[in-house]
C-alpha cells in the first residue's frame, strides 16, 4: 500500500510537469510593469577579501582555518574579482538588458570594526561606483544588506544568537541607508534566514557551523526577525518619505509535496517550519511563529526536560514590530521535495529541528536534477508554492529574488535553458490566476563561489574562467535565451538564439 501511495504522488507530479511542458508550445507575454533582473552576493563574487580596509567575515575565517571543509578546498579571496571588475559586470547587465541587479553589501567592507564608529570610505566608494555605473544605464540597484557574511568579531560575541545583534544590525542598516538610499529604491534586509539559522547555527552546513541542533537555529530565528524589523522600522520612519523606496525580506521557499494521501498534513507542517517560520511572523494577520511550530516544539521541549520551550517567545512589543514589517516578500525558489512520517528507518538527534517535526523529506532519484544534489526539476512545485503564499498571506507582492539551475560548467547549457522556461511558465500560470508576482531575478548573473561547494557547481548565465587572472566572463546559451525573454518580454519555447556574439542592444543605454 505504501509503495502504491508513493507511485501515485510521483505520477501526479509527472502529469503536472507534462501539462506545463505541453502548455509551453505557445508564446506567452509578461505583463506591463513586471521587472527582470539577475542576482549575486558579495562574498560569492567580490574577492578583495582584505582589500582597502575590509576585515574578516565568518566565511573568510572558516575557509582560511579549514580550507577543505569546502568541496574543492577553495575560498572567496578572489572569487570573480568583482571588486576590480565591476564595470565588466555592468556591461554584462547591459548585454542581457536587465532592469535591475540584486547584489549584497559586505558588512566588513563598509564597517571594518563591525560598528559605525569607523566607516570605511574605500568600501563605500566601491559600492557608490557600482551603483552609479548601473544607474548610468538605467539599471536599478536592489541591495541585500545581509547575505550570510557576518563580521567574525560579531560571531565571536555570539552572532545571531546574541540579542544585541538587533542593534548591531540596525546600526549597519542605517549606515547603508544614509550612504546609498538617495539612489537605491529596492532594499532587502536578509537573505534566506532559514539557511543562516538552521544550517549555520543548528547544523554544520554553512558558516559558522555551530552544531547547536534544536536550540541554536531557534535563537537565531527570533533575533534575526527582530533585527530585520528594526531595520525596516528605521527606513520607514527616517528615510521612506524622503526617498520613497521599498524594503522587504528574502526567504528560501522550497515546496513540499505529500508522499501519499495520508501525508497532506505533514507537507503543510514542514512548509510552516521551513519558510512559515519566517513568513508567518511578518505576513500573517496575527504575527508570531506558526502555531504548529509553537505547539510541537513546546511539547517536545517538555518531554525532554526543558523548563521552557526551546523556541523563544517574542515580547508583545517585538511581535508588533515584526508583524507587517515588509513591503514585499522576496522568494528564492529552486526545487520540491516529497515528505513522509518518520518510522523505524529514521533516527534524529534529540533535540533537533527534524526531531521536532518528526518528518522526513526526500527526492526520488528518477527526478531530473542539476549539479546540486538538492536541485530537482519540478516546476509544478513553484506554481503550488506561489498559490499557497497567496492563500496564507492575503496575496502579498512577491519578488522572485532567486531562481536558477546548476551545472558543472560549459557554454551549451540546454538543461538550464529548459529549467528557466519551465519555471517561468509555471510562474506565469500562477500570475494568470491572481498571484501578485512583481519581478524575477535569475540566479546567477555569473558563476561564483557556491558556499560549501566552492566552484564545483555553476549557476551563472555567464561562465567564469577561474584559471584566468582576468576572470574572463563568457555568456552561456541560457544568457542569450534570457536576453531574448527580456527584450521581447515574452516566453517563446521555439526561440533558438545565435550564440556567436553577445551585443548591447541599447535597451538600457
Q: Which domains does the chain have, with CATH numbers?
A: 2-25+35-491 (3.20.20.80)
Give φ, ψ of 222 to 5 degrees. -65, -50
Give the H or E element holding residue 104: strand 100-104
Of 356, 441, 382, the residue nearest 147 (C-alpha)? 441
DSSP designation for 67: G
C-alpha cell at 397: 507582492
Distance CA 406, CA 416 (A): 7
Distance CA 184, CA 401 (A): 16
pLDDT for 344: 87
Give φ, ψ of 119 to 5 degrees. -100, 125
Q: Is 208 exposed, middle or buried (0-12, 13-18, 19+ CB in 10 A)?
A: buried
Distance CA 276, CA 394 (A): 14
Q: How many other CB atoms are found less than 10 A from the CB of residue 209?
A: 16
Distance CA 399, CA 248 (A): 9
Q: How far apart are the first and last CA of the chain?
A: 61
Cβ proximity of 79 and 47 under 8 Å? yes
pLDDT for 262: 86
Stated pTM of the model: 0.95
pLDDT for 21: 45
Cβ proximity of 44 and 76 under 8 Å? yes
Distance CA 428, CA 448 (A): 28
Distance CA 175, CA 178 (A): 5
Active site residues: 192, 402
Distance CA 449, CA 406 (A): 12
Find the DSSP H helices in 334-442. 353-357, 379-392, 414-432
Distance of CA 211 to the CA centre of its chain: 22
pLDDT for 19: 42
pLDDT for 8: 46
Cβ proximity of 105 and 41 under 8 Å? no
Distance of CA 6 to the CA centre of its chain: 30
Distance CA 74, CA 235 (A): 37
pLDDT under 70 in the chain at which residues? 1-24, 506-509
Residue with cell 537605491: 184
Cβ proximity of 39 and 91 under 8 Å? no
pLDDT for 24: 55
pLDDT for 15: 47
Distance CA 253, CA 384 (A): 11
What's the residue count for the chain? 509
Cβ proximity of 307 and 279 under 8 Å? no
Strands 186-191 and 140-146: parallel
Provide the β-strand partners of residue 271: none
Of 38, 110, 33, the residue nearest 459 (C-alpha)? 38
Amino acid at each position: 500500500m505504501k509503495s502504491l501511495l508513493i507511485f501515485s504522488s510521483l505520477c501526479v507530479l509527472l502529469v503536472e510537469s507534462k501539462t506545463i511542458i505541453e502548455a509551453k508550445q505557445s508564446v506567452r507575454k509578461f505583463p506591463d510593469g513586471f521587472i527582470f533582473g539577475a542576482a549575486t552576493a558579495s562574498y560569492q563574487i567580490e574577492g578583495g577579501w582584505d582589500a582597502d580596509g575590509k576585515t574578516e567575515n565568518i566565511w573568510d575565517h572558516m575557509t582560511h582555518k579549514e580550507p577543505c571543509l569546502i568541496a574543492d578546498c577553495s575560498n572567496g579571496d578572489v572569487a570573480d574579482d568583482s571588486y576590480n571588475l565591476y564595470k565588466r559586470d555592468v556591461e554584462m547587465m547591459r548585454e542581457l538588458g536587465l532592469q535591475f541587479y540584486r547584489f549584497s553589501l559586505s558588512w566588513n567592507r563598509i564597517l571594518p570594526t563591525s560598528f559605525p564608529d569607523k566607516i570605511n570610505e574605500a568600501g563605500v566608494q566601491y559600492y557608490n561606483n557600482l551603483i552609479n555605473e548601473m544607474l548610468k544605464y538605467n539599471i536599478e540597484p536592489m541591495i541585500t544588506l545581509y547575505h550570510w557574511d557576518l563580521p567574525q568579531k560579531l560571531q565571536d560575541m555570539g552572532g545571531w544568537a546574541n540579542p544585541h545583534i538587533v542593534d548591531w544590525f540596525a546600526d549597519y542598516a542605517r549606515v547603508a541607508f544614509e550612504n546609498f538610499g538617495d539612489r537605491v529604491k529596492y532594499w532587502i534586509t536578509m537573505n534566506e534566514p532559514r539557511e543562516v539559522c538552521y544550517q549555520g547555527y543548528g547544523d554544520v552546513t554553512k558558516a559558522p557551523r555551530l552544531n547547536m541542533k534544536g536550540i541554536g537555529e531557534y535563537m537565531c530565528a527570533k533575533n534575526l526577525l527582530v533585527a530585520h524589523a528594526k531595520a525596516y522600522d528605521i527606513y520607514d520612519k527616517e528615510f521612506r518619505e524622503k526617498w520613497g523606496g521599498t524594503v522587504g525580506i528574502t526567504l528560501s521557499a522550497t515546496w513540499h509535496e505529500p508522499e501519499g494521501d495520508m501525508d497532506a498534513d505533514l507537507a503543510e507542517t514542514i512548509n510552516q517550519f521551513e519558510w512559515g517560520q519566517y513568513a508567518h511572523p511578518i505576513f500573517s494577520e496575527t504575527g508570531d511563529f506558526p502555531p504548529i511550530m509553537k505547539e510541537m516544539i513546546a511539547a517536545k521541549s517538555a518531554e525532554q526536560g526543558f523548563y521552557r520551550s526551546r523556541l523563544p517567545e517574542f515580547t508583545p512589543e517585538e511581535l508588533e514590530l515584526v508583524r507587517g514589517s515588509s513591503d514585499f516578500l522576496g522568494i528564492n525558489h529552486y526545487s520540491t521535495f516529497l515528505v513522509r512520517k518518520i518510522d523505524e528507518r529514521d533516527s534524529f538527534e534529540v533535540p533537533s529541528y527534524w526531531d521536532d517535526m518528526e518528518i522526513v523529506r526526500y527526492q526520488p532519484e528518477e527526478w531530473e536534477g542539476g549539479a546540486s544534489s538538492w536541485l530537482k526539476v519540478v516546476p509544478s512545485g513553484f506554481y503550488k508554492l506561489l498559490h499557497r503564499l497567496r492563500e496564507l498571506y492575503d496575496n502579498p507582492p512577491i519578488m522572485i529574488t532567486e531562481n536558477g539551475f546548476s551545472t558543472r560548467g560549459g557554454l551549451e547549457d540546454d538543461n538550464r535553458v529548459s529549467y528557466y522556461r519551465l519555471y517561468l511558465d509555471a510562474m506565469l500560470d500562477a500570475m494568470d490566476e491572481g498571484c501578485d508576482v512583481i519581478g524575477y531575478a535569475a540566479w546567477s548573473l555569473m558563476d561564483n563561489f557556491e558556499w560549501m561547494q566552492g566552484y564545483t557547481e555553476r549557476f551563472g548565465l555567464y561562465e567564469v574562467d577561474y584559471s584566468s587572472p582576468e576572470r574572463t566572463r563568457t555568456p552561456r546559451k541560457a544568457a542569450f535565451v534570457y536576453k531574448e525573454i527580456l527584450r521581447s518580454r515574452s516566453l517563446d519555447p521555439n526561440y533558438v538564439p545565435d550564440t556567436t556574439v553577445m551585443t548591447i542592444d541599447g535597451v538600457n543605454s
